[in-house]
Amino acid sequence: MPALPTPGLPTPAFPAPALHPVDPEKATGETASLFTATHRALGVIPQLARVMANNPTVLRGYVDVVTALSTRGTLSADVRERIALLVAQENRSDYCLSVHTFRGTKVAGLTTAEATRARRGEAGDPWAAAVLDLAAAVVRDHGVVSDERLDAARHAGLSDGHVVEIIAHVALGVFTHHLATAARIDIDWPLVRHTDWENGTA
């Protein structure tokens, strides 16, 4: 994936971060190597990764999971970003919505309309719609998935392996939301708010 510059659009002021980001320019040793791996995996070193770098084990685990799911997983980039957008909206995470709206439309090839529909758990493509239907159940019901929901997923062509992978993406989205929220991370992407469509701007 080609490297992307860190989006530079101005964002409104937020409370001071609760957790301090690590400066990549001052990082050494394992942390510096992890920042290189983060840039390779994401195209940038976002604020979220800089906060994770306070614990290099966590950052390494994050980079390893993202890399494995994106390079060896069965879900395409656009479907992965749709899941991330759904989870971000359900969690009311402006940080994650900003990240994945940018990545979904600029990297994964989603249209703005497709990205907005994904936030609602909707897709025009039947395969993507089945994935989002299952992901929505997982995130909304905290992992409880009914037999009927699983039967519908299998009827749509999802294997047990797909189900496990979808849940992994949901869990990844929940983790990044919780960390970004707890750390009060500045949004370093073009801002997208979870209330946008309530205001008629999504």
Q: Residue range 87-108: average pLDDT?
A: 96
Quote the percentage of the chain above a pLDDT of 90.
Answer: 81
Asked which of 1-15, 35-49, 154-168 is least confident by mean pLDDT, the reply is: 1-15
- The answer to which of 69-73, 82-86, 184-188 has the lowest mean pLDDT is 184-188
The residue to which tokens 């994050």 are assigned: 62
Supply the pLDDT for residue 201: 57
* Helices 160-183, 126-140: inter-axial angle, 10-degree rounding: 50
Please work out, in degrees rounded to the nearest 5, the angle formed at the alpha carbon of residue 124 by the alpha carbons of 142 and 87: 25
For residues 64 and 60, what is the distance between their CA atoms, to the nearest angstrom? 6
Would you say residue 6 has pLDDT above 60?
no
Question: Rounded CA gap, 127 and 117, in Å?
Answer: 14
pLDDT band for position 89 (cuts 50, 70, 90)? very high
Number of other CB atoms surrounding residue 125 within 10 Å: 13
Contact yes or no for 165/74 (Cβ under 8 A): yes
Predicted local distance difference test score (pLDDT) of residue 42: 79
- Structure confidence by residue, pLDDT tens digits, 141-158: 999 999 999 999 999 999
pLDDT digit string (tens) for 32-67?
A: 999 998 898 878 899 999 999 999 999 999 999 999
Run of H or E residues at 64: helix 56-72
Cα separation, 157 vs 127, whole angstroms: 8
